[in-house]
Amino acid sequence: MRVKDKLSIRDLNLKDKKALIRVDFNVPLEKGLITDDSRIQASLPTIQYVLDQEGAVILMSHLGRPKGLFDSKFSLAPCAKRLSELLNKPVKMAADCCGLDVEQMVRQLKSGEVLLLENLRFHKGEERPDDEPNFTSALSELGDVYINDAFGTAHRAHASTTKIAKFFPNRAAAGLLLEKEISYLGCALTNPKRPFCAVLGGAKISTKFKVIEALQSKADVLLIGGAMAFTFFKSEGIPIGDSLYESEFVAVARELLGVETQSRCRLLLPIDLVIAKKMDESFTETRIISVKEGIPDGYQGVDIGPDTIKLYQEELNRAATIFWNGPLGVFEVPAFSKGTQTIAQTLAVVNAITIVGGGDSLAAIEQAGVSKQINHLSTGGGASLEYIEFGQLPGIEALSDK
């Protein structure tokens, strides 16, 4: 499945039309204030395109997990305020995402105006559309055309991402962000410039083993870090002290290491580690050990070591395409962040196409101050991994064919 086989926002006549756009405004909030507006900023090209084509914009999104009930702490009102500042024009805010009052607001909406609907997940029908089918049809009544620009939720078969498309035959299109996301990921998967290097970190092998399998048939080298490395070490009989691992996936890890001998892809594990007795900021005393000697009892692995950093940098410097998802250590603690930070800084200077996905990886890129040096920052960590695993996403499949 290629997004270029699907209808694009560029194929739609938007003049005097009401464009119902699924965006991903699932932003982090602290005390009602947005702490990172990158997802809102990523939606601006599509919103501005509709406005430039003299259409009206109706935005819908979810925020957090309110479980189908109204909860003011999950209101999208802060997003309306921030979007208004970014667009330098008023953004109307609806008190709900469907119902008579919302329909009245939509009827009064003129070309060139922007309306943000309240959190979709205040209704159970968003996440469970088959339980509340009228919810999808109520949303569909609000627009003349449907545009999906929410890559971060394109792997969810929800009312606003898949079910709604059938109400817009030949009028359900991909937005500019969705096209950009798939073009970068598609390039990395279908015809990458080689060598293609993938870096996978994070805590759990259980959430990524299918992605590792998929990448082993596509990448030239796979660099592993984060707590998932300890499940691999356990499968090789290497002592891991008190480090986190998934006992039920030890056999899977062993199989994945066996695949390396049969595939073109080399799978590299850390060769040294930073270890500590406690995994918090109050305890910063660390040791560096060789993986071969194993982690002693009472200690946990908290970061990749200097020799691993050097080894991984050599691989990254040779690469022509790089995909990174997941931190390589407990990067939230400054004393344990060197591996993740150094890899982020390396990606900023390599001569390669660089693609970074996943909230923690993006946070590390921001922390390192190199976000502008990365070719593509994916707004959807889970979606990008599912696209790598399956080669398609429900939210894209549902769009109209060209």
Which residues are tagged catalytic? Answer: 39, 204, 359, 382
- Residues in binding site for substrate: 24-26, 39, 62-65, 121, 156
Q: Give binding residues as ranges.
A: 24-26, 39, 62-65, 121, 156, 208, 301, 332, 358-361
Peptide bond into 195 cis (omega under 30): yes
Helix pair 250-259, 209-216: axis angle to 10 deg: 10
Tokens of 186: 């598609």
Give the residue carrying structure tokens 């891991």: 240
283-286: long-range pairs with CB below 8 Å, 24+: 284/333, 284/334, 284/335, 286/335, 286/336
Decide if 172 contacts 165 (C-beta within 8 A). yes
As given in the structure block, the two tokens for residue 260 are 């390396």
**Amino acid at position 34, single letter:** I
CB 125 within 8 A of CB 135: yes
Cβ proximity of 305 and 297 under 8 Å: no
**Order of strands, edge to edge, in the sheet holding 300-304?**
286-290, 272-276, 300-304
Q: Distance of CA 236 to CAs 211, 216, 240, 251, 256, Å?
A: 21, 19, 11, 10, 12
* Residue type at 109 in one-letter notation: L
What are the binding residues for ATP? 208, 301, 332, 358-361
- HEC assignment per residue over 150-170: CHHHCCCCCCCCCHHHHHCCC
What pairs with residue 260 in β-bridges?
Answer: none
Sheet of 172-174: strand order equals: 92-93, 114-116, 56-60, 18-22, 145-148, 172-174
CA distance 26 to 47: 17
User: Which segments are annotated as binding site for (2R)-3-phosphoglycerate?
Assistant: 39, 121, 156
Query: Are 146 and 164 within 8 A, CB to CB?
Result: yes
- Separation between Cα atoms, residue 156 and residue 150, nearest integer Å: 10
The DSSP output letter for 192 is: -
Contact in structure between 248 and 225 (CB atoms under 8 Å): no
Chain centroid to CA 19: 25
